[in-house]
Amino acid sequence: MKLGIVYHMPFWKAADGSLWEAEGSFARYVDSLAPYFDEVSLCVPVRQVPAAEGTRIRSANVRLIDFPYFDGPRQFYPQLGAARRALRQWVPTVDLLNCRVPTPAGWFAFREARRSRVPVFLLVVGDLRAVAPTLPYRGLKRLLFGLYTAFEEWALDRMTRQALTFANGAGLAAKHRRSGVQVIETKTSTVNAGDIQTRPDTCQRTPVRILTVSRIDPRKGLRCLPDAVAALRAAGRDVELVIVGPEVGAPGVAERAAIEESARALGVGDRVRCAGAIPLDRLLPMYRDHDLFVLPTGPGEGIPRVLLEAMSAGLPVITTNVAGIPSLIAHEQNGLFLDVPTGGAVAAAVSRLMDDGELRRWLIQGGYETARAHTVDAQAAQLLGVVAARLSVELRRKSAPAA
């Protein structure tokens, strides 16, 4: 049984033949599915020049197809002819196709699968329509992104009507459910059972170290974080903040510059640090060196995988009640919700957790329980159990019973 996966995370092949992904979350997803198949082939952008570091695919049965490199829709569509030729050659060679959507090649791979009678299952991981209002595009860029969003929404509507569909979190599942269309909620994870820690408490040292892991772009709400650190410092709290994550395009570069300038202007430039992108294998140990996790994100995604990563490391989580997050986080059970994602609200939540050890330890234990229930291997078994039953495919490893 051969599985094909379509997505837009870039990979590269090292001189020794090993396969690498820059971020690492998608690599873990691929590794979790690989034991169920004889071969997994990836339709992804392939870098000709390796990145400085990344996360290695551990499974020996994964390969890359020859596909044009692109950074996003703007680079993908000028190469659409070459991309469609590659899809036309590749899709008939697989027995099952998984499209993680939205992604530029998703609709075109889906069409080839329908033409070749290859069964398809979708995993919806984002919401472009919800993202669009938060992006600082103007003029032609705004028009073009609007057209791309409209196309992806149109394509998703048609794909979900014809294919077995999973969605990351209750928000995305509810969005795509309609008469005659069943969407199965899942919770994407990057956490293995061995990643889950046992430390009972944090905030036992100074400074208290706050961590945020997020792509840097306007919709993530990160500009409130220097205000939060400044408010905490003014209240006599000895804290520091590290933001881990890559800038996403020109808006992301501008966002990082604005965050750093705000921190300097507020007198906390030495207490707020943007560390850039760090691959998952190095990032997971980094969580354990911090005390609290903050993610003031806006709408437009399913469930951020970083929440499970933080909980597995014993970090109390402070985040927003948006998108699919409420289907993972329960307020005062395994995290705290911000009423509004402002610097003052973040500072108040951090202060509460620094002062209330009983609540902090309660959230840590709730986080461990949540992480244990949602490991990447458990997700793969549940997802593929449904796939095997609904699409009548034979998998190499026995998976969990269908839901």
Report the CATH number that the domain containing residue 45 is assigned in CATH.
3.40.50.2000
Residues 332, 240 share a domain: yes
Instruction: Report residue 61 as tokens.
Output: 């049965």
Share above pLDDT 70 across residues of the chain, in percent, rounded to a whole number: 99
Whether residue 91 is predicted with pLDDT greater than 90 in this model: the reply is yes
Identify whether residues 50 and 158 lie together within a single domain: yes
Convert 48-86 into a string of H (helix), E (strand) and C (coil).
CCCCCCCEECCCCCEEECCCCCCCCHHHHHHHHHHHHHH
The per-residue pLDDT for 398 is 63
Do 176 and 203 belong to one domain? no
Provide DSSP, 111-174: HHHHHHT--EEEEE-B-HHHHGGGS---HHHHHHHHHHHHHHHHHHHHHHHHSEEEEESHHHHH
Q: Is the pLDDT of residue 402 over 60?
A: no
Confidence of residue 273 (pLDDT cuts 50, 70, 90): very high
Q: Kindly state the DSSP code that residue 402 receives in the 8-state scheme.
A: P
Range of the domain at 93: 2-189+375-391
* Residue positions counted in the chain: 403
Asked if 73 and 163 sit in the same domain, the reply is yes
CA nearest to 284, candidates 380, 372, 206, 196: 196
The percentage of residues in the chain with a pLDDT greater than 90, rounded to a whole number, is 86
**What single-letter amino acid sits at 15?**
A
Number of structural domains the chain divides into: 2
CB atoms within 10 A of CB 353: 21
Residues 6+ apart with CB under 8 A from 232: 239, 347, 350, 351
Q: How confident is the model at residue 373 (pLDDT cuts 50, 70, 90)?
A: very high
What backbone phi and psi angles, to 5 degrees, belong to 145? Answer: -65, -35
Lowest mean pLDDT among 73-77, 80-84, 273-277, 393-397: 393-397
Same domain assignment for residues 171 and 204 = no
Per-residue pLDDT at 401 exceeds 60: no
Mean pLDDT of 381-385: 96
More confident residue, 219 or 351: 351
Q: Which strands, in side-by-side order, build the sheet including 55-56? A: 11-13, 19-21, 55-56
Interatomic CA distance for residues 368 and 95, integer angstroms: 37
Indicate if the pLDDT at residue 93 is higher than 80: yes
Lowest mean pLDDT among 135-149, 165-179, 227-241, 384-398: 135-149
116 & 221 share domain:
no
**pLDDT at position 136:** 76
Could you read off the pLDDT of 193-245 as tens digits, one per residue?
Answer: 999 999 999 999 999 999 999 999 888 999 999 999 999 999 999 999 999 99
